[in-house]
Amino acid sequence: NIGNVPLVLIAALCRDKSNPFGDYEKCSQDGNAYISFGQWVGAIVLYTYVFQMLAPPSGGTFDIEDGDLPIKSNPVINTAEQVPLLAPPEPEREPVDSNTSKPGK
């Protein structure tokens, strides 16, 4: 979770003797406060930005009746996408009996 990375970094930073906040207790307290405030501001900015993106349009919805939709006619071209994978079944032929006599012979 990327939200926990700053907390881990502050914990590691506060163990260093040259940390920016002084002793360990003050560093941990102030560091967590800065991180919490930053995450709060980020959440507010993100919420307002995303809410504006996902808000319904002011002109209403985009519901359109099926009869009003434009119809695009596809050209009849046998491309690879339109060729069936299986050939249609051939009509069955009646078996020819070779033992029957033909007229005229």
What tens digit of pLDDT does each residue of 59-102 get? Answer: 666 666 666 666 776 656 666 666 677 777 888 877 766 666 56
The pLDDT confidence band at residue 23, using thresholds 50, 70 and 90, is confident
- The answer to the question of residue 101 being in a domain is no
93 falls within a domain:
no
Is residue 73 situated within a structural domain? no
Domain that holds residue 43: 2-54
CA 31 vs. chain centroid, Å, equals 36
Exposure letters 18-46 (e unless 16+ CB within 10 A, then b) = ebebeeeeebbebbeeebeeeeeeeeeee
Q: Where would I find the H helices in 55-77?
A: none
Q: Which residue has the higher pLDDT, 89 or 44?
A: 44
Supply the pLDDT for residue 44: 92
Give the chain's domain count: 1
| Higher local confidence (pLDDT), 18 or 66 | 18
Look at residue 62 and tell me if it is in a domain: no
32 in a structural domain: yes
Residue 9: inside a domain: yes
Residue with tokens 């005229």: 104
Q: Which distant-in-sequence residues (6+ apart) come within 8 Å of 11 by Cβ?
A: 28
> Residue 13 contacts by C-beta under 8 Å, 6 or more apart in sequence?
19, 20, 27, 31
Residue 45 is assigned to a structural domain of this protein: yes
Query: Is residue 35 domain-resident?
Result: yes
